[in-house]
Amino acid sequence: MWSKSLLTSNVKNDHEKRLCSAQVYEMGDSDDDDIPQLSSHTLAALQEFYDEQQQRKTDPGEGNKYNIGVIEENWQLSQFWYSEETALRLATEAIMAAGKGGRIACVSAPSVYQKLRELNGEDFSVCILEYDKRFAVYGEEFIYYDYNNPLNLPQKLIPHSFDIVIADPPYLSEECLRKTAETIKYLTQRKILLCTGAIMEKEAAELLGVKMCRFIPKHTRNLANEFRCYVNYDSGLNSEVSCS
Ligand SMILES: C[S@@+](CC[C@H](N)C(=O)[O-])C[C@H]1O[C@@H](n2cnc3c(N)ncnc32)[C@H](O)[C@@H]1O
């Protein structure tokens, strides 16, 4: 008999958890099957994981330092990177919303920062607020940030000085969203683009006045939770149903 268990990351309590879709199949008690076997799906997933590891052993080089995945996901930090298409869609949305010469803050959303930098635009400035200090490789644009101390920010971050704040809080809990919302409201002039679980819709509306968009974000790995984007302005993310 095969039994299936979901790989759970970041279970701080019952409310604060995210599930990743990696599935582990374990051999249960069975009289007929003495030799453990892996399903073809599990083998394919393991192979994909192994291939990625091998590929990442190669130095990405300076030219690729903004590639999504150059800094590997750490599930203990609830890190699930967007797909290339989603990161590009969110980055271009942020540029449009910020306007010419606009300022963009990426809060716990490092792959949007990476995509913005990869686009190499001259017409906007961007900073990355992140808990994971590996992102300090991005120099002065990196700002260490822990949502537990939402207003513990460097003085150079002037209140309401960003044209748009894009945020993807690490946990699906009211507490995490409430604290991240404090940071978002402190930083933004007005516009907010929030990415979080569909189950956070009510809290997102109450805390930030944002509404769910038609656009559906995708990740490099399939997540067990349904994810959505939310905005408080007239956004291009509402003009299409397509997922990317
Ligand atoms: C679900 S991920 C969002 C990443 C996004 N999907 C992307 O591709 O850029 C949550 C992010 O929160 C960050 N994070 C983890 N613990 C944090 C904390 N205590 N305070 C702020 N951010 C944290 C993680 O490092 C991660 O980048």
pLDDT, position 30:
42
**Does the pLDDT at position 235 exceed 60?**
yes
Mean pLDDT of the region 181-185: 98
pLDDT, position 222:
87
In this structure, are residues 102 and 124 in contact, taking their beta carbons and an 8 Å threshold? yes
- Ligand 1 centre to CA of 30 (Å) is 41
Neighbours of 232 (CB within 10 A): 17
pLDDT, position 122:
85
Q: Which of 79, 88, 126, 144 to mutate to test the pocket of ligand 1 (most atoms within 8 A of CB)?
A: 79
pLDDT, position 11:
40
Tokens of 30: 């069975």
Q: Structural domains in the chain?
A: 2-64 (no CATH), 75-238 (3.40.50.150)
- Ligand 1 centre to CA of 146 (Å) is 10
Task: For ligand 1, atom 19, name the residue with the nearest CA.
Answer: 146
- Ligand 1 centre to CA of 62 (Å) is 24
Spatial distance between the Cα atoms of 160 and 150, rounded to a whole number of angstroms: 14
> What tens digit of pLDDT does each residue of 88-99 get?
999 999 999 999
- Which atom of ligand 1 lies nearest, measured to the CA of 217? 6
Spatial distance between the Cα atoms of 18 and 9, rounded to a whole number of angstroms: 6
Tokens of 176: 């995490």
- Cα separation values, 221 from 46, 68, 77, 105, 224, Å: 13, 13, 15, 25, 10
pLDDT band at 54 (very low <50, low <70, confident <90, very high): low
pLDDT, position 64:
87
pLDDT, position 22:
35
Neighbours of 168 (CB within 10 A): 23
Residues 6+ positions from 35 with CB-CB distance below 8 Å: none
- Which atom of ligand 1 lies nearest, measured to the CA of 87? 8
More confident residue, 232 or 47: 232
> What tens digit of pLDDT does each residue of 114-148 get?
999 999 888 999 999 999 999 999 999 999 999 99
Crossing angle of helices 174-187 and 201-208, in 10° steps, is 30
Spatial distance between the Cα atoms of 235 and 193, rounded to a whole number of angstroms: 9
77 C-beta closer than 6 A to ligand 1: yes
Task: For ligand 1, atom 16, name the residue with the nearest CA.
Answer: 77
**Does the pLDDT at position 1 exceed 60?**
no
Spatial distance between the Cα atoms of 3 and 170, rounded to a whole number of angstroms: 29
User: Across all residues in the chain, what is the average pLDDT?
Assistant: 83
- Ligand 1 centre to CA of 224 (Å) is 17
pLDDT, position 50:
54
In this structure, are residues 224 and 21 in contact, taking their beta carbons and an 8 Å threshold? yes
- Which atom of ligand 1 lies nearest, measured to the CA of 109? 9
For residue 195, which of 72, 111, 95, 71 has the smallest C-alpha distance? 111
79 C-beta closer than 6 A to ligand 1: yes
Alpha helices (H) along 33-173: 40-56, 84-98, 110-119
Query: Counting every residue, how long is the chain?
Result: 244
State the DSSP string of 58-79: S---GGGTT-TTSS---GGGT-
